[in-house]
Structure 1
Amino acid sequence: MEQYRIRRVRATLLALTTAGGLLLTGCSASGDGASDSSYDGGNKGGGYAPAPDGEQQGGPDSSDSSDSADSDSRDVAPEPDYLSTFALDVDTASYGYARRTLAEGRLPDPSTVRPEEFVNSFRQDYDRPDGNGFSVTVDGARTDEDDWSLVRVGLATRTAEDADERPPAALTFVIDISGSMAEPGRLDLAKDSLDTMTDQLRDDDSVAIVTFSDEAERVLPMTRLDGNRDEVHDAIDELEPTDSTNLGAGVDTGYETAEDGLRKGATNRVVLISDALANTGDTDSQSILERIASERREHGITLFGVGVGSDYGDQLMEELADKGDGHTAYVSDEDDARKVFVEQLPRNIGLTARDAKAQVAFDPETVEEFRLIGYDNRRVDDEDFRDDSVDGGEIGPGHTVTALYAVRHKEGADGHLATASVRWLDPESRTPHEESGQLESEDLDAALWDAGPRLQVTAVAAYFADTLRSYGAEFSPLPGTPSLGELSERAHDLAESTEDEDVRQLAEAIDQASRHGD
């Protein structure tokens, strides 16, 4: 297995003072949206990173350590050589688009496969905190390959709050009505979903509608739903596909409309529904991204991207959401649409944590090397974990975030294995908080396929994504990677034991990949 050198960075880099939180936050760690699965030899978490021989690490304890950043850095953060740091992410579009592509008889482009979005598409079994912030669960199991384990770091926010308790929403829907949206499962699906969601929003919520094809049009200004739902439904019903895709004009008009209807104390969000295939007007993605980032910084308007269509600009949509402090999802059928518009979007109206980042410290006494699976464009420099001016993830109630690591143990080593910490800012006061969880070597005695069903589902999703990324490229497989045939059997068994429709769909997707990949 290929190994990567990590240059040692002086521990003094980690004697960081707690920086003041910014008013505006972000999901993107790198800011460039580039997907790069290689490890650059620097102090970013990821790749296969050998843990050096050295003193015992001393990661943060499990209490709120926001006041501890001025203490001895070795007590609160070990050296970067065996740290992995990333911004939290709850996107799921990559998995949804892969399912759609496989169902149509094609393998997805490996560049569109992001393993963390496969993993985060499934329900987890983590304990949840009582208030804002996160619980931290760290567990894992041994793989079939000697000395290798899969380690799962699970972060969960409190359960989704009652709809009457969340802040009001000011949602600007920017809807692609270009000719390509006439394809079944695009605009028709979006219209049905928006109608359903409009009926479920509260009276004090507001909705605006902007459409774009070769030009953009403000169809409905920001309108309170109290007494005006019929007006919103009428605007949705009149949407019809027309000409080209001037995405730049749609984004500009959408944010102008959101800015005009800005509501203090509300969640102000642009919801972009598109195949993200810009072909008219301003097709320069950089200028579109700069506009979105500017609105985020100046007005706190965030973006939720909903992808549709068999031909889909996956990378652009992800970059748009990253710059807009938001999330992406993909809709291919009625079940997806209901999940996104009726469950996910309302859940994203509330906010429990800003600039959320995770850092996992592996113990060099017990860990030989490790690899973070996915999160390639969410990496954060290790010394920036406690720099609250560095963008993290915006996370709402009811979310879970899962990171999976492949970890090789030192032969015969026993004892402490890792400390996983999450840091976030309170959404109102911007006060920083931290929470941590510990993992010991003896916690990994169980074999992977004897572990709990949710951990097994996580492993199947990660192995599946990793396999899809390997097609047509030189690629080092994850330790213990099963064949697609074995993954299919595992997934079908898990679908039966969990009685989970999402897991059944995973099994079907693996079956389709097995046929197309031969």
Structure 2
Amino acid sequence: MKNKLAMAAVLALVAGTLFMAACGSKASYEAKAGNSAGSVAAGADGSKAVTRQEAPQAMAPSDRRYTDGEPSTDPEGLQRPTDGQPYDMFFKEHGVNPFVDTEDDRLSTFAVDVDTGSYTVCRDYLNRGNLPPPEAARSEEFVNYFKYGYEAPKNGPFNIVMDCAPSRYGQDLKNCHLLRIGLKGREIDTRSRKPAILTFCVDISGSMNMENRLGLVKKALALLVDQLQEGDRVGIAVYGSRGYEYMSHRDAGRKEEILAALRDLKSEGSTNAEEGIRIAYEMAERNFNERCINRVVLCSDGVANVGNTGPEAILKQIEEKRRKGITLTAVGFGMSNYNDTLMEQLGDKGDGHYAYVDNITEAKRVFVENLTGTLQVIARDVKVQVEFNPEVVKSYRLIGYENRDVADHDFRNNAVDGGEVGAGHSVTCLFEIKLHEGRQGPIATTTVRYKHDERDEFSEIAHELATGSIHSEWAKAPANMKLAASVAEFAELLRKSYWAKTGTYEAVIADLKKLAIESDDGDLLELLNLARKAENLKSTEGKGAAGGN
């Protein structure tokens, strides 16, 4: 799309001043296309924390030792909520994609996204008995959390799958269809992956003591260490009031030493994220090996209040190091006093991805089940350009990816960053499209442009879908397409999308029940449970609830 939705440039983090807010009230959020209203504290980049009053300044995260629902007043005099509502949660509002007429712009261009943090953050809200604020729900991260069983490529890094059927959730829109585009990355056997040189960067500040966040970090990283092989290497940097090298790099064969070092980590002080991340990258650079995976694994709640805490300094050094081949995985922990905006940016700028771990099961998913995909990148700067045929398609709307938009003319501009895809990862993109009645022919051509992980040259692959391949009715669409549609609709309801204004949780629940009858997928059953929780919370919280529709 030609109008690029700008990504966050400056966060609500400035040296010596941290804009925070509490979300004790049940703020009202008005559904508008491209806008989500409500009572919020905005950072310089538009990132928002749900709030009951103006955000206090210069409050160190280490001073906030309150778990959800604990009645008290903190040292700055701010009365914390007593109703279990999370507070000091920072999110970025990216708007909602509109329908675009193909006669005005037939091209939709965006960077791929394999992040899943938004889904697990919202899951954590719902499991704690709260609807998430609309800004927390990013539809593409919901959709890409789930596995759709796409066939892996026989040759090359990607396989493209395209399907189209009458839209289940766009029935109020004339002649509306759902177009599903799926990408499946090349799989790499665990025994065949490159040796990994990992630098753990662990936030041990006072805020990580809340709800035993640091304890979950230690368990999660221990799971990762248990999967490593001889020839892999691990080093640890930490940061509280100061950042420092905690454990020098050593072979994964010395597993007990590494695990003992993790067990001994203790929470301390405030949060000098800039110094801790800088030291982690210095360690990674000293141990760099071009024949290996060189990755920093950051575990944090995203809060920074000491040192050069402006995000530009952190993001600049991450961008510089990624050009040298050092990538970043940003893993978030904690509910309340959590900066989703910064954690997502760090994963994006670090040529890696962003995940949020809310329990030990999710830690196993990230660090055990998906370890090779988490560590080894198979393609960099991956962009997608979908060219719609104006003779057949009247208009289209990309669901999600608002903060991944790329100008159409930059699709082949190698200086413009795309997304990164790990081994075995899949990416799903959904479009609502309106067709001209009675027209036949090509619907759209999907072109994927990417750079090989080990070579600088770019390659492209393309796939076309024609009207003859459209499923005659929604009931005949593949089960995995139906699942993706239900996941997207659930996210659109939570984010109060204008295009879901006539949608209901009841409809999503009914569709998920049908899918669950023929599936034992635990993720699907969990989604069904979350949709039920969202429906109940919507009905009980009433008009002033944040989230829902």
SS in structure 2 at match of 1:164? helix
Letter in 1 for 2:157: G
Q: Distance in 1 between matches of 2:368 and 2:525?
A: 21
Q: Distance in 1 between matches of 2:205 and 2:151?
A: 44
Q: TM-score with structure 1 length normalisation?
A: 0.83
Shift of 1:332: 0.7
Q: What does 1:317-356 correspond to in 2, within 5 Å?
A: 317-356=343-382
Counterpart selection for 2:393 from 367, 374, 379: 367
Shift of 1:256: 1.5
What does residue 253 of structure 1 align with?
Answer: 279
Counterpart selection for 2:514 from 493, 501, 505: 493
SS in structure 2 at match of 1:263? coil
What does residue 154 of structure 1 align with?
Answer: 182
Q: Distance in 1 between matches of 2:400 and 2:33?
A: 8
Structure 2 residue 154 is matched with structure 1 residue 130: yes
Question: Is the CA contact 1:29–1:392 (under 8 Å) kept in the aligned structure 2?
Answer: no
Q: What does 1:49-448 correspond to in 2, within 5 Å?
A: 49-52=100-103, 81-143=105-167, 144-145=171-172, 146-159=174-187, 161-184=188-211, 186-226=213-253, 228-297=254-323, 299-311=324-336, 312-448=338-474
Q: Distance in 2 between matches of 1:478 and 1:415?
A: 29
Q: Distance in 1 between matches of 2:417 and 2:109?
A: 12
Q: Distance in 2 between matches of 1:317 and 1:372?
A: 24
SS in structure 1 at match of 2:370? helix
Q: Distance in 2 between matches of 1:445 and 1:342?
A: 37
Letter in 1 for 2:534: A
Question: Is the CA contact 2:33–2:498 (under 8 Å) kept in the aligned structure 1?
Answer: no
Q: Distance in 1 between matches of 2:528 and 2:10?
A: 30
Q: TM-score with structure 2 length normalisation?
A: 0.78
Letter in 1 for 2:149: D
Question: Is the CA contact 2:391–2:436 (under 8 Å) kept in the aligned structure 1?
Answer: yes
Question: Is the CA contact 1:92–1:117 (under 8 Å) kept in the aligned structure 2?
Answer: yes
Over aligned residues, Cα RMSD in angstroms?
2.4
Question: Is the CA contact 2:107–2:387 (under 8 Å) kept in the aligned structure 1?
Answer: yes
Q: Distance in 1 between matches of 2:136 and 2:157?
A: 31
Distance 1:29 1:304, change over 3 A: farther
Runs of 4+ aligned structure 1 residues displaced above 4 Å come to 28-39
Q: Distance in 2 between matches of 1:133 and 1:370?
A: 28
Q: Distance in 1 between matches of 2:143 and 2:273?
A: 30
Per-residue CA deviations over 1:466-492 (Å, capped at 9, x if unaligned) read: 11111xxxx42149x631012112223
Question: Is the CA contact 1:33–1:318 (under 8 Å) kept in the aligned structure 2?
Answer: no
Per-residue CA deviations over 1:125-149 (Å, capped at 9, x if unaligned) read: 3222123321111102102333001
What does residue 41 of structure 2 align with?
Answer: none
Shift of 1:165: 1.4
Q: Distance in 1 between matches of 2:403 and 2:527?
A: 24
SS in structure 2 at match of 1:268? strand
Letter in 2 for 1:180: S
Shift of 1:90: 0.4
Letter in 2 for 1:476: Y
Question: Is the CA contact 1:92–1:330 (under 8 Å) kept in the aligned structure 2?
Answer: yes
What does residue 70 of structure 1 align with?
Answer: none
Question: Is the CA contact 1:185–1:332 (under 8 Å) kept in the aligned structure 2?
Answer: no
Question: Is the CA contact 2:372–2:423 (under 8 Å) kept in the aligned structure 1?
Answer: no
Q: Percent identity?
A: 38
What does residue 483 of structure 1 align with?
Answer: 504
SS in structure 2 at match of 1:239? coil
Question: Is the CA contact 1:29–1:86 (under 8 Å) kept in the aligned structure 2?
Answer: no
What does residue 514 of structure 1 align with?
Answer: 535
Q: Distance in 1 between matches of 2:508 and 2:332?
A: 27
Q: Distance in 1 between matches of 2:375 and 2:156?
A: 14
Question: Is the CA contact 1:82–1:363 (under 8 Å) kept in the aligned structure 2?
Answer: yes
SS in structure 2 at match of 1:486? helix
SS in structure 1 at match of 2:306? coil
Distance 1:164 1:345, change over 3 A: closer
Shift of 1:449: 4.3
Gaps of 5+ in 1: 8-27, 40-44, 53-79
Letter in 2 for 1:437: H
Question: Is the CA contact 1:82–1:362 (under 8 Å) kept in the aligned structure 2?
Answer: yes
Shift of 1:415: 2.0
Shift of 1:50: 0.5
Per-residue CA deviations over 1:10-37 (Å, capped at 9, x if unaligned) read: xxxxxxxxxxxxxxxxxx9966469998
What does residue 42 of structure 1 align with?
Answer: none
Q: Distance in 1 between matches of 2:157 and 2:522?
A: 29
Q: Distance in 2 between matches of 1:322 and 1:158?
A: 21
Question: Is the CA contact 1:170–1:266 (under 8 Å) kept in the aligned structure 2?
Answer: yes
Question: Is the CA contact 2:493–2:503 (under 8 Å) kept in the aligned structure 1?
Answer: no
Q: Distance in 1 between matches of 2:442 and 2:500?
A: 23
Shift of 1:83: 0.4
Q: Distance in 2 between matches of 1:136 and 1:269?
A: 28
Gaps of 5+ in 2: 12-31, 36-95, 540-549
Distance 1:223 1:497, change over 3 A: same
**481-490 or 351-360: bigger deviation:** 481-490
Count of matched residue positions in the alignment of Structure 1 and Structure 2: 454
**459-468 or 390-399: bigger deviation:** 390-399
Shift of 1:432: 2.2
Q: Distance in 2 between matches of 1:291 and 1:351?
A: 20
Counterpart selection for 2:98 from 19, 43, 47: 47
SS in structure 1 at match of 2:190? coil
SS in structure 2 at match of 1:108? coil
Per-residue CA deviations over 1:279-320 (Å, capped at 9, x if unaligned) read: 2333212221112112222x2211101011112211110111
Q: Distance in 1 between matches of 2:5 and 2:115?
A: 14
More RCO (CA 8 Å, sep 6+): 1
Per-residue CA deviations over 1:422-463 (Å, capped at 9, x if unaligned) read: 111222222322211111223223333442211111001111
Q: Distance in 2 between matches of 1:381 and 1:131?
A: 30
Q: Distance in 1 between matches of 2:255 and 2:192?
A: 21
Question: Is the CA contact 2:348–2:419 (under 8 Å) kept in the aligned structure 1?
Answer: no
Per-residue CA deviations over 1:371-428 (Å, capped at 9, x if unaligned) read: 0111111111112222223211221211110000010111222221111111112222
